[in-house]
Chain A
Amino acid sequence: MVDLMIKNSDETKVKSPKQAVSKLKNTIEKKTVFGTKNFNLWYGSHHALKDIQLDIKENDVTAIIGPSGCGKSTYIKALNRMVELVPIVKTSGEINYRGRNIFESSYEVEELRTKVGMVFQKPNPFPKSIYDNIAYGPRIHGIKNKKILDEIVEKSLRGAAIWDEVKDRLNQNAYGLSGGQQQRICIARCLAIEPDVILMDEPTSALDPISTLKVEELVQELKDNYSIIIVTHNMQQAARISDKTAFFLNGEVVEFDYTDKIFSTPRDGRTEDYISGRFG
């Protein structure tokens, strides 16, 4: 892990000593949330992720970009083991969440998913009231007190910047909301159990530009308290909101670095081709 960090920062072309210090400080202070070591994943015989090495830091927004089918969604679904819902999946190597391998047989998947929340590509609220959507997570984890639940619901909806829009209709079905609002309800639902990491799988691809902007602003606000990993097809989005970017191609990590570096002076020719729109 440490080797990789140093390698990454070594290769960063340092423009000023000040910048160098800040970057070094960054690397030293920020703890690793997800350390991926020699991670491979197969769907049946299809080798979808090849020897992934990736260290994701806390309180960063990490963007994962790459063309369709490059394994980026598979990778973040591996981080909360949602990928195991596909029965033919096999894995090797390690993904360490806060230092513990999540693929250890003794690791309880519910415990992992309580810490690592997820927002999906298509908004998927439950066919319940807005209130019940948000309260679902806390309830299944044993919080029954109405007063505490009320507080959690308000706090989560405020956190997802949707409180003002829905505060007068908390008892209405969440399916009556617009797509963008539904997606923020899903983010609020995720915030309600106060996870450590939020995984976002192309959270704005089904949304209109205004809703997209709102979700992007939200990501910026959330990064103070959460580590966010976001898969996106939209390279401008990655450039706008992320601190670090990983470029995936054919199941491999081609390049992983600070976002400004990836988008200004990529190290690998394939990264440059992709971000300049020559393929993908």
Chain B
Amino acid sequence: MASQGLEKEQSVQQLIAQSRNKKGKKIVEKLMPLILIITALISVLTTIGIVFTLIFETFEFFQRVSITDYLFGTEWLPFSGSEPLYGVLPLVLGTLKVSVIAACVAVPLGIAAAIYLSEYASDKTRRIVKPILEVLAGVPTIVYGFFALTFVTPLLQQLIPSLKIFNALSPGIVVGIMILPMIASLSEDAMSSVPNSIREGALALGATKLEVSLKVVLPAALSGIVSSVVLAVSRAIGETMIVSLAGGATPTFEFNVTGSIQTMTAYIVQVSSGDAGYGTTIYYSIYAVGFTLFIFTLLMNLLAQYISKRFREEY
């Protein structure tokens, strides 16, 4: 028997029992979950704290400005000394213009790139291209910002002479470029996780590669693709630096994209970096705008979660 060799000393089971009875191990076992809970709580509590501050200060803002004026007003003129106006719609519209342009750029390009990477690219190409795409996601947004202002805008002005220096189009396109890798990479993950057996099933019916990609793999990965798009658009809504630099600071309630705009985020930057005194209405307004922004991104994230759960394909 194997235990004979250990007879003079101790059996393995005895050694295990000794080690189990050591005090230190028991304390660590009990202490560790506590430490882990605390670290988890820090992030949760911080989030709750931020949300509460937002709500609190927003409440204060609505003591001074009526909520209907805020939600439905079409003029945002907080700095006009005698009669400031706090209608948020121009800021919301500015944000939406940029986000919609960004989505128009990023969704088709991102999904096309994902289809290429997942269905057509060789392993070697994929190994080279995907990290490059992910580097694009790591470029600081301030760099994108002056890229929009000093490169894209002049370029677009050659095509559209009426384009202002500050406009919605240029930051929209650049935000689109910024969120493109996110869509491409997440959608590629979703498409790659579709099992090969399903592709083979379609090929065996005489389907071409394109038919397999578009009519089998794409629908099968749709939940992942849609939630990647929603997440990316929520990034676009919250994007700050690019729109601050290239979008301008003129909140307008117009639907053209060639003129100067201001987004919710850019307004917050403008006030925060300026000298609005503590306790003024302008000071409180950034919380109201911040809260509005928070509601937007929260809804987008919930939508992404709902979509990925509701439309999850089982395979």
Contact = CB atoms under 8 A, between A and B. Distances in A.
A111 B197 contact: no
Contact of B215 (A136, A175, A189): A136
Prevailing SS type, chain B contact patch: helix
A126 B197 CA distance: 9
A85 interface: yes
A111 B216 CA distance: 19
Given A111-B206, A114-B206, A126 B200 contact: no
B313 A127 contact: yes
B278 interface: no
A137 B205 contact: yes
Contact of B205 (A122, A125, A128, A140): A140
Contact of A127 (B205, B207, B215, B220): B220
Contacts of A141: 206
Contacts, number: 72
B203 interface: yes
Interface string B301-315: 000000000000111
Given A127-B313, A127-B315, A175-B314, A186 B205 contact: no
A190 B205 contact: yes
Interface string B257-282: 00000000000000000000000000
A137 B314 contact: no
Contact of B203 (A113, A128, A190): A113
A110 B215 contact: no
A140 B207 contact: yes
Q: Which residue, B201, B204, B314, has most C-beta atoms of chain A within 10 A?
A: B204
Contacts of A112: 206
Given A127-B314, A127-B315, A175-B314, A136 B202 contact: yes
Contacts of A124: 195, 197-198, 200-201
A120 B205 CA distance: 12
Given A136-B215, A140-B215, A175-B315, A126 B198 contact: yes
Nearest to A115: B206
Contacts of A137: 205-207
B154 to A, nearest CB: 46
Contacts of B216: 126, 136
B219 interface: yes
Contact of B201 (A110, A120, A139, A175): A120
Interface in A63-91: 80, 82, 85
8 contacts: A85-B203, A113-B205, A126-B216, A127-B314, A136-B207, A137-B206, A173-B313, A173-B314
